[in-house]
Structure 1
C-alpha cells in the first residue's frame, strides 16, 4: 500500500477516534449531570410526598375528631361570657366525667363572639371543627397527644395508631409527585429502625447495583414497630436521563454516524479507485499487447512483400496478404468492442427490436464453435418452452450470446462439455449456458460483469480484456433483462441471460 494511502487512512482513523472520544466525553458528563438532577428531583418529590401523606392523615383524624366532638354521649360543649376579657369562652367536657374539661376562646379570634344556644347545631359544628383544627396543629403536627380529657385523648391515640405511617398509603402519593416531574422510574421503599437523617448511610453493593439512586432518610414518627425512618430507592434512571438529554443525545449519535459513514465511504472510494486503477492498468497492458500482435504481424507481412521480392511469388504474396487481412480483422473486432462499451456509457446505444429465431441463431453459434482448433467440443441444446422467437436487436443478441459461448469455450479445457438450455422464469425467457471450465470463486462473482475486470487466477491463463461480460450486461440491461453467473472453482459455470417475453 502506498505511503500516501496509509497516511490518509491513519489521519481519518485518528480524526474519527478523536470525534468519538470527544462525543463520548460530552455525553458522559451530560449524563452525570442529568443523573444528579434526577437524584435532586426524586429527593424533592419524596419530601413533598411524605408531607402530603402526613397531611392527608391529619385531615382524616381532624374530621373524625370534629364528628366525635358532636357526639353528646361523649362530650358536652358549652359557652360562657368572660366579663374581664369581654368574649365568649367555649368549654368541652367529658360527658362521663364532667369535671374533665378544657376551654378555649379560639372562635372569638376569628370574629365570632356569640353564645352557643341549645339546638344551634350549625354553630356547634363550627365550634367542634375549630377545636379539632386546634388539636391537629397542637398535637398531630407536633407528633404528641395531650389528654385534655380522658375520652378525647384515648380517641386521638386510637386513631393515630389506626392511621399510622404506612408505605402502602405513601406509594400513590409519591407516584403522583414523581409523575408531575415526568419521572416514571420504578421504585420501592427502604425502612429501618435507625438511620442517618444527614444521608450518611452506607449501603450494600448488591443493593446499590439494583437501586443506584436512594433518597435521603426521613423520620416516620411511627407509633409502634421498627419503621422509624424511610427512604425511596430507584432503579436505573437511564430512560429518564436519555429523555432529558433528548436532542443532544440524538445529535451526538447522528454526528458519530455521519463521521463514521464519511470515513467508510472515503475508504471505500479510495480502495475502489485503487482497484479500478489497477484494473485499467491491466487492461491497458493487455489491450496494448493485443493491438501490437496483429499490427506486428501485418507489418512483417507488408515488409516481406516490399523488401524481399515476395511480390514475384504469387502464392507467397497471397499468403502474406491473407495473414495481414486476418490480423487487421482481429484488430477491427477489438476496436469495435471498445467502441461498443464507450457508446453504451455515452447513452448512444440504440436497439432495433425484431423477432429473432432462437433455435437457428444458437445452433449456428454452436456449429461454428465446433470448428475451434485444438479443442474437442461436445454440446447439447434443449428448448422445451415452446417459444422459438424472442424480440431483440438481432445484432446485439448475436453479440451477447456469442460472447457467452466464447467465454465458456475459452475458459474450459481441451475437452469441452457445453449445455445450453432455455426456460421461462418470471416473464423472462432465460438462455443458460453451462460449461465444465475452471470456474470462478464466490468472492469474484459479483465483479465479473464490471468493465475491465478479470479474475486474477484466470488473467494469466487465458488472454482477454475484461470487456466481454461487461458488454453482455450492457446489451441485456438495454433490452430490459438481466444476467447472472453461478460458478464454483473446478466445477464450471452457468451464465444466464434473461430476455423479456
Structure 2
C-alpha cells in the first residue's frame, strides 16, 4: 500500500476516533446531568408524598375528633357570651370530669360568633369541626398531643398510634407523585432507627449496586419502634434517562453509527481500489505478454526476409510471410478483445428472446466443444424438468454456456468429466455445469465474476485469459433477469449454476 494511502487512512482513523470520543464524552456528561435531574425529581416527589401521606392521616384523625366531640356521653359543648371580648366563647368539658375543660378563648374561631342553642345539632357540628381543625393544626401537625382533657388527649394518642406512619400507605402516594413526573422506576423504602438528613456517604457498595439513587432521609415521627427515619431507594434509572434524552440521544447514536460506517466504508473502498489496481496490473502484464509474442514472431520473420537473403528462396519467403500473417492475425484478435472491453463496461448489447430447444442446443454445444478441444472429454447431460423450450437470446445463451464450458476445459486436467443438468427452482430453469477441474479457493469465489479478475498465481498464468469471461456471463444472465451462482472447492472441481426465468 502506498505511503500516501496509509497516511490518509491513519489521519481519517484518528479524526473519526476523536469524533467518536467527543460524542462519547458528550453523551456521558449529558447522561450524568439527566441522572442528577432524576435524583432531584425523585427527592421532590418523595418529600411531596410524605407530606401528602401525613396530611391524609391528619384528615382522618381530624374527622374522628369531630365525631368524638359530638358524643354527649364523653363531652359537653357549651357557649357563653364574653362581654369584654364581645364574642361567644365555646367550651368543651369532659363529661365524666367536668373540671377538665378548655375553651375557644385562646383559639382562632373567627367567623363563628353566635350562641349554641340546645338541640342545634348543625351548629354544634360546626363547633366540633372547628375544634377538631384547631387540634389538627396546633397538635397533630406539630407532632404533639396536648391533654386539654384527659379523655380527648387519650383518644387522640390512640388514633395517632392507630394511624401511625406506614410505608404501605405511603407507597401508592409516592407512585402517584412519580407518575406526575413520568417516572416509572422500581423503588424500595429504607427505614432506620437513626439517620442523617444530610449525610449520604455511609451506604454499602452492595446496597448501592442494587439501588444507586437514594433520597434524603425524613423523620417518620413514629411513636415507638426503630423505624424513625425513611428514605426511598431507586433502581438504575437508565430507561428513564434514555427516554428523557430522547431524540438527542438517538441522534448522537446515529452520528456515531454514521461515523463508524464512514470509516468502514472508506477502508473498504481503499482496499477495493488496491485490489482493483492489482487486478489491472495483472491484466496489463498478461495482455502485454500476449501482444509481445506475435509482435516478436512477426518481427523475426520480417527481419529474416530482409537480412538473410530469404527473398531469394521463394519457398522460405512464403513460409516466413505465412508466419507473419498468422501472428498479425493473432495480434488483430487481441486488439479486438481489448476493444470489446468497452462493450462489457457499458453492457451495450440488446437481448432478443426467442424459443430455444434447450436439449438440442446444449447437446450441440457440448458436441462441438469435444470435437475442437483436443482433450479427452466425457460428458453427461440430463433434463429433470420435462421442459424442452425456454425464451432466451440464442446467440448470448450460446456465449454464456460456451464460456462456462471453456473454463471447465481450461482448468481441468487431461481427462475432463462434465456433468450438465437442468432443473426447476422458484420459477427459474437452472442450468448446472459441474467439472472435475482444479477448483477455486473460498476467498476468491466472491470476486470471480468481477471484470479482469483472475485467481492469483503470481506473474505466471498457465491458462491464458483476460478475466472477462465470467463477468460477460453474469451480464448476459442478468440481462435475461436471471442469476448465476458458483460453488467450488480446490481439488474437487467447480459447479456453475445459470438461472433463466421461465
* Aligned mates of 1:312, 1:362 — CA distance in 2: 53
* Aligned mates of 2:194, 2:487 — CA distance in 1: 78
* Range that drifts further, 160-169 or 319-328: 319-328
Task: Provide the residue aligned with 2:138 in structure 1.
Answer: 138
Q: Deviations over 1:187-213 (max 9, x none)?
A: 110001111122355011100111111
CA contact (8 A) 1:377 1:417 kept: yes
Shift in Å at residue 110 of structure 1?
A: 1.6
Using a 3 Å threshold, how does the CA distance of structure 1 residues 200 and 497 change in structure 2: closer, same or farther?
A: closer
Using a 3 Å threshold, how does the CA distance of structure 1 residues 475 and 327 change in structure 2: closer, same or farther?
A: farther
1:98 aligns with 2:79: no
Task: Provide the residue aligned with 1:415 in structure 2.
Answer: 415
Aligned to 2:147, what secondary structure does the other structure show? coil
CA contact (8 A) 1:107 1:130 kept: no
Task: Provide the residue aligned with 1:477 in structure 2.
Answer: 478
Normalising by structure 2, what TM-score? 0.93
Aligned to 2:111, what secondary structure does the other structure show? coil
Q: Deviations over 1:151-176 (max 9, x none)?
A: 11111111101000001111111111
* Aligned mates of 2:473, 2:73 — CA distance in 1: 111
* Aligned mates of 2:313, 2:357 — CA distance in 1: 47
1:20 aligns with 2:25: no
Using a 3 Å threshold, how does the CA distance of structure 1 residues 412 and 322 change in structure 2: closer, same or farther?
A: farther
* Aligned mates of 1:258, 1:460 — CA distance in 2: 42
Shift in Å at residue 112 of structure 1?
A: 2.6
* Aligned mates of 2:361, 2:301 — CA distance in 1: 36
Task: Provide the residue aligned with 2:162 in structure 1.
Answer: 162
Task: Provide the residue aligned with 2:245 in structure 1.
Answer: 245
* Aligned mates of 1:406, 1:78 — CA distance in 2: 123
Q: Deviations over 1:45-80 (max 9, x none)?
A: 111111111111001100110011111121111111
Task: Provide the residue aligned with 1:257 in structure 2.
Answer: 257
Using a 3 Å threshold, how does the CA distance of structure 1 residues 317 and 397 change in structure 2: closer, same or farther?
A: farther
Shift in Å at residue 115 of structure 1?
A: 0.6
Unaligned runs of 5+ in 1: none
Using a 3 Å threshold, how does the CA distance of structure 1 residues 390 and 111 change in structure 2: closer, same or farther?
A: closer
Shift in Å at residue 327 of structure 1?
A: 4.1
* Aligned mates of 2:340, 2:191 — CA distance in 1: 86
Unaligned runs of 5+ in 2: none
CA contact (8 A) 1:338 1:467 kept: no
Using a 3 Å threshold, how does the CA distance of structure 1 residues 428 and 307 change in structure 2: closer, same or farther?
A: farther
Task: Provide the residue aligned with 2:194 in structure 1.
Answer: 194
Normalising by structure 1, what TM-score? 0.93
1:228 aligns with 2:228: yes
Shift in Å at residue 375 of structure 1?
A: 2.9
* Aligned mates of 1:384, 1:65 — CA distance in 2: 98
Task: Provide the residue aligned with 2:489 in structure 1.
Answer: 488
* Aligned mates of 1:160, 1:291 — CA distance in 2: 109
**Aligned pairs (5 A) from 1:85-484:** 85-105=85-105, 109-200=109-200, 202-301=202-301, 323-324=323-324, 326-372=326-372, 375-457=375-457, 460-484=461-485
CA contact (8 A) 1:88 1:108 kept: no
